[in-house]
Homo-oligomer: A and B are copies of this chain.
């Protein structure tokens, strides 16, 4: 059974929700978890919930990195931060993968500092999962977007590697046998988007073993056209945050409307089933975390607002990825004569 190191102190609702999520996992699965953080606070939560003590260990540490902290400075100076202790537990093979809802920048830098890069990978990518409208039954409702902000600009080499890594991850984790890969761009034609994207398009189209569907435009992020969407970090970060911003605005609008008038509240209730897919857009609990790709070890980042269900889902995805030997799959894809 894999052991997942969980950054108990990472996230807006930590350690309450992180510990609850791990407690649930211990009852629902046979996954072992290592809860890393302030032991007293972790125990205080555990005392109030049901869990299987045989599957949960605690690794006490004193420091934390908050979501607003400077990632570089924090990773350099807070060696005993829960996130970094969890990362080192995996680097030193006392656990198999990390789950954290904490500071994403610190996750990336911490992984870069302690994990081993996969052969040939110069830069890691932060993946993000985006909900989308499925085009056919059985299709995974989530698409993988990378890079969502570990890089700023990328060259064609790096974008091609992101495509290979993302495709290998999706193949294992989302069980799409041949994930369709798209290149985020400002037009459908191969000539669009400037030198780097034109060159990336050319190379992806020529790559054996990759189902490249061509350029994907902004609005196609919402449709089921591609399972894996590749872009540089600046573009991916803006797209991801715009997506989140619109989702939040909609939920706020609906809530404000419902509070103002009884008829609106009734309307919202009647509509609730109908807009189920709309609400899913903003339901981070379903997402199960997004991986940092490019290392021999895995770290899954969760949204800062993750609750127990989100953490539990991420732990399950991490355990599945370990069992399915996802990093080896990615290394194989990278080494498989793709250059």
A interface residue numbers (CB < 8 A to B): 133, 149, 152-153, 184-187, 192-194, 197, 217-223, 233-235, 237-246, 248-250, 252-254, 256-258, 260-261, 263-264, 266-275, 277-278
Contacts and interface: CB of A to CB of B under 8 A. Distances in A.
A186 B237 CA distance: 6
A274 B267 contact: yes
A240 B218 contact: yes
A207 to B, nearest CB: 23
B271 A271 contact: yes
Contact of A245 (B223, B241, B245, B264): B223
A221 B233 CA distance: 18
Given A266-B270, A267-B268, A274-B257, A243 B241 contact: no
A163 to B, nearest CB: 17
Contact of A241 (B219, B234, B266, B277): B219
B153 A194 contact: yes
A186 B221 contact: no
Given A238-B239, A267-B267, 14 more contacts: A133-B253, A186-B234, A187-B237, A193-B234, A217-B237, A217-B241, A219-B244, A219-B246, A222-B245, A235-B238, A263-B270, A264-B273, A264-B274, A266-B270
Given A218-B237, A258-B274, A186 B152 contact: yes
A274 B254 contact: yes
B133 A234 contact: no
A261 B274 contact: yes
Nearest to A271: B267
B245 A242 contact: no
A245 B266 contact: no
Nearest to A259: B274
Closest 6 CB pairs of A and B: A219-B245, A257-B274, A267-B270, A218-B241, A267-B271, A218-B242
Contacts of A266: 267, 270
Nearest to A241: B218
A257 B246 CA distance: 20
Nearest to A105: B187
Name which of A233, A234, A277 has the most chain B CB atoms within 10 A of its CB. A234
**Which residue, A241, A260, A272, has most C-beta atoms of chain B within 10 A?**
A241
A137 to B, nearest CB: 15
A215 B48 CA distance: 43
Contacts of A246: 219, 222, 243, 246
Contacts of A184: 238
A261 B244 CA distance: 29
B242 A221 contact: yes
Contacts of A152: 186, 192-194
Given A217-B238, A218-B240, A242-B219, A253 B271 contact: no
